[in-house]
């Protein structure tokens, strides 16, 4: 029997107080995610239960109980507090998926600070933009990422502390840098956890939009109610499960469902901190006997491509429930997983902004391969007509995915950008920025995004951010960035550029520019192809027409070009 029981029954009787009751939380109470994910689990008698199996580079293994997590997060929290960091200070986590990342997340929350997790593959420019926007006071990082921080720290007067978690000799440290090596610290058994309330800010995740720089999505401690209940009902985690969420905590899935959800339920999870290969993933599942697996379509497509020979070499019979997020999950992937894992992947749709799962195929519900499923109980979801913003009643008609605000994990604002936040609401609906249709049984079918944001392998990339970075290269005159179709990643970044006088197009220059972006932004944002053009298509007012370049890449009708200047 799944945790959700009957979906229809849950829909009828739903109230978020179900989560509040299970968490023993009453309105007005103190609610601190750091405490809920460690101290409370220990108090419930699970102090000795394994919270984390970690496997790092070259197979290095570590194991931590919930009591270890409690002590480690207390120790880091106390250290941060002694530096003078406190309530609502932004603390950036810039680490690979090492245990310290998970402990720092809880530790920073325990002192009431706001955690700003950033993907450790980010280059210095991506990092700078986000730290400056959040006016971050401290960054916790590793030696291997230090050079990127050093490059930008002088431009960031707000950044007072650069904390390095590996063993580090004092003489190697530069201004603002502090070494904090957990293993050499005396563990702190008791600390005063900051009494955050429901609306106290917790996590600040950056996400990409079409225009302007990335936006900081502000979440609050109350989000726990959504994350707890969706983890329980959608991922169906049960006490003896071994759970693996493949997402990096630099992205929202890695925090909502890679830390908060499972640990607030006292579930054992495992983490693999190394790159992707079909062999290493299957081996990991076999070794740790993973029973619940939350992953992404790009990974599934890569596994499919690796072929059936490999799957058959491993014992994957521990798998009990599979779910996916981040991109459209194609029907073939669902069918394939059913064939080779004996279980279908259950699609889940949500966003950094929504903080928790919105639409999903529930355990036990009939899955229609290719459909995202139905809204979580308590979530009112629909598709709106793009002109009137009224809900579409006709089955199969495409509209804008929208939700009635009010669930606990909904973002509270975009950091310092209330205006952009307000633009997300129309007629009392929150607009996700995606398009879908709903069939006659209430299942949602994803169509695509309603903007130019590129979704490559589940990572959102803002064309604006890449275009801006391209312009910093000495050879680039103008740039336009769009998505290009890709078999595995669904979309990849493609750049069209014009060159400044004196530069000649060619493979060397193409590679040089690609590398320039990889270092500045990240490998995810790096264009996989650069097309040199004599001029870019523009409107009469001089705006570059991405739409046209996009249509060209996807072999689509170009549509109305009457405003083209140089057709």
Residues that bind ligand 6R9 (CB under 6 A): 207, 251-253, 325-329, 347-352, 372, 432-434, 446, 449, 455, 460
Cβ 176 to ligand 6R9, closest distance in Å? 31
Cβ 418 to ligand 6R9, closest distance in Å? 19
Cβ 247 to ligand 6R9, closest distance in Å? 8
Task: Spell out the alpha helix ranges (H) of 274-430.
Answer: 278-288, 297-306, 308-312, 331-341, 418-423
Q: Which residues of 9-45 are buried (b: 16+ CB within 10 A; e: fewer)?
A: ebeeeeebebbbeebebeeeeebbbbbbbbbbbbeee
> Is 398:436 a contact under the CB 8 Å cutoff?
yes
Q: Which CB sits closer to ligand 6R9, 39 or 491?
A: 491
Cβ 346 to ligand 6R9, closest distance in Å? 10
Q: Which CB sits closer to ligand 6R9, 125 or 327?
A: 327
Return the residue nearest ligand 6R9 (CB atom): 352
Rounded distance between C-alpha atoms, residue 420 and residue 229, angstroms: 29
Residue bearing tokens 């610290």: 185
Q: Which CB sits closer to ligand 6R9, 311 or 526?
A: 526
* Chain centre to alpha carbon of residue 214: 13
Cβ 519 to ligand 6R9, closest distance in Å? 23
The beta strands (E) that lie in 85-214 are given as 90-94, 114-117, 138-141, 161-164, 177-179, 201-207
Q: Which CB sits closer to ligand 6R9, 278 or 325?
A: 325
What H or E segment, with its residue span, contains residue 46? none
Cβ 402 to ligand 6R9, closest distance in Å? 12
Cβ 541 to ligand 6R9, closest distance in Å? 29
Q: Which CB sits closer to ligand 6R9, 481 or 509?
A: 481
What H or E segment, with its residue span, contains residue 36? helix 33-36
Q: Which CB sits closer to ligand 6R9, 384 or 499?
A: 384
> Is 253:41 a contact under the CB 8 Å cutoff?
no
Q: Which CB sits closer to ligand 6R9, 89 or 327?
A: 327
Q: Other CB atoms closer than 10 Å to residue 556's CB: what's the count?
A: 10
Q: Which CB sits closer to ligand 6R9, 118 or 497?
A: 118
CA nearest neighbour of 34 among 64, 82, 66: 66
Cβ 330 to ligand 6R9, closest distance in Å? 10
Cβ 154 to ligand 6R9, closest distance in Å? 31
Q: Which CB sits closer to ligand 6R9, 316 or 333?
A: 333
Cβ 88 to ligand 6R9, closest distance in Å? 23
> Is 413:205 a contact under the CB 8 Å cutoff?
no
The torsion region of residue 27 among left (phi > 0), alpha (psi -120 to 50) and beta comes to: beta
Task: Spell out the alpha helix ranges (H) of 364-462.
Answer: 418-423
Q: Which CB sits closer to ligand 6R9, 39 or 248?
A: 248
**What is the three-class DSSP state of 265?**
coil
Rounded distance between C-alpha atoms, residue 62 and residue 241, angstroms: 19
Rounded distance between C-alpha atoms, residue 148 and residue 171, angstroms: 19
> Is 374:391 a contact under the CB 8 Å cutoff?
no
Length of the chain: 567
Rounded distance between C-alpha atoms, residue 468 and residue 213, angstroms: 9
């Amino acid at each position: 029997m799944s945790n959700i029981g009957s979906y229809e029954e849950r829909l009828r009787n739903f109230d978020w107080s179900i989560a509040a009751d299970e968490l023993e939380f009453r309105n007005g109470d103190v609610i601190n995610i750091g405490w809920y994910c460690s101290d409370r689990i220990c108090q419930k008698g699970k102090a000795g239960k394994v919270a984390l199996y970690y496997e790092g580079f070259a197979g290095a293994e570590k194991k931590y109980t919930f009591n270890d997590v409690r002590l480690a997060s207390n120790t880091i929290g106390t250290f941060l507090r002694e530096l003078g960091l406190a309530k609502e200070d932004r603390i950036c986590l810039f680490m690979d998926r090492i245990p310290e990342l998970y402990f720092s997340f809880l530790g920073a929350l325990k002192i009431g600070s706001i955690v700003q997790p950033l993907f450790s593959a980010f280059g210095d420019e991506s990092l700078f933009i986000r730290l400056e926007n959040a006016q971050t006071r401290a960054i916790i990082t590793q030696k291997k990422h230090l050079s990127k921080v050093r490059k930008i720290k002088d431009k960031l007067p707000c950044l007072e502390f650069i904390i390095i978690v590996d063993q580090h000799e004092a003489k190697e440290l530069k201004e603002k840098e502090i070494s904090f090596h957990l293993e050499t610290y005396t563990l702190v058994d008791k600390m005063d956890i900051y009494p955050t309330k429901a609306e106290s800010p917790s996590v600040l995740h950056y996400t990409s939009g079409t225009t302007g720089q990335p936006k900081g999505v502000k979440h609050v401690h109350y989000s726990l109610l959504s994350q707890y209940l969706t983890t329980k009902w959608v991922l169906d985690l049960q006490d003896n499960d071994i759970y693996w969420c493949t997402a990096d905590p630099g992205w929202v899935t890695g925090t909502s469902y890679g830390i908060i959800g499972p640990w607030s339920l006292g579930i054992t999870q495992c983490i693999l901190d190394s790159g992707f290969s079909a062999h290493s993933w299957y081996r990991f599942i076999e070794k740790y006997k993973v029973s619940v697996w939350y992953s992404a379509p790009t990974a599934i497509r890569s596994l499919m491509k690796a072929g059936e020979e490999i799957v058959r070499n491993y014992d994957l019979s521990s798998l009990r429930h599979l779910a996916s997020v981040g991109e459209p999950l194609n029907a073939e992937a669902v069918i394939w997983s059913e064939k080779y894992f004996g279980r279908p992947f259950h699609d889940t749709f949500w966003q950094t902004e929504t903080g928790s799962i919105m639409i999903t195929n529930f355990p036990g519900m009939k899955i229609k391969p290719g459909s995202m499923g139905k809204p979580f109980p308590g979530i009112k979801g629909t598709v709106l007509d793009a002109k009137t913003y009224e809900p579409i009643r006709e089955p199969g008609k495409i509209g804008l995915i929208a939700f009635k605000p009010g669930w606990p994990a909904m973002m509270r604002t975009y950091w310092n950008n209330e205006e952009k936040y307000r633009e997300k609401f129309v007629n009392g609906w929150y607009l996700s920025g995606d398009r879908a249709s709903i069939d006659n049984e209430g299942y949602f079918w994803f169509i695509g995004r309603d903007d130019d944001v590129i979704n490559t392998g589940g990572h959102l990339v803002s064309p604006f951010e890449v275009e801006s970075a391209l312009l910093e290269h000495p050879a680039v005159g103008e740039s336009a960035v769009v998505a290009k179709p890709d078999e595995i990643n669904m979309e990849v970044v493609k750049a069209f550029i014009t060159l400044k006088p004196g530069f000649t197009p060619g493979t060397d220059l193409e590679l040089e520019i690609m590398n320039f972006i990889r270092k500045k932004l990240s490998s995810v944002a790096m264009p996989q192809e650069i097309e040199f053009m004599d001029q870019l298509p523009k409107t009469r007012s001089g705006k570059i027409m991405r739409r046209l370049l996009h249509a060209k890449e996807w072999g689509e009708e170009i549509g109305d070009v009457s405003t083209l200047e140089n057709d």
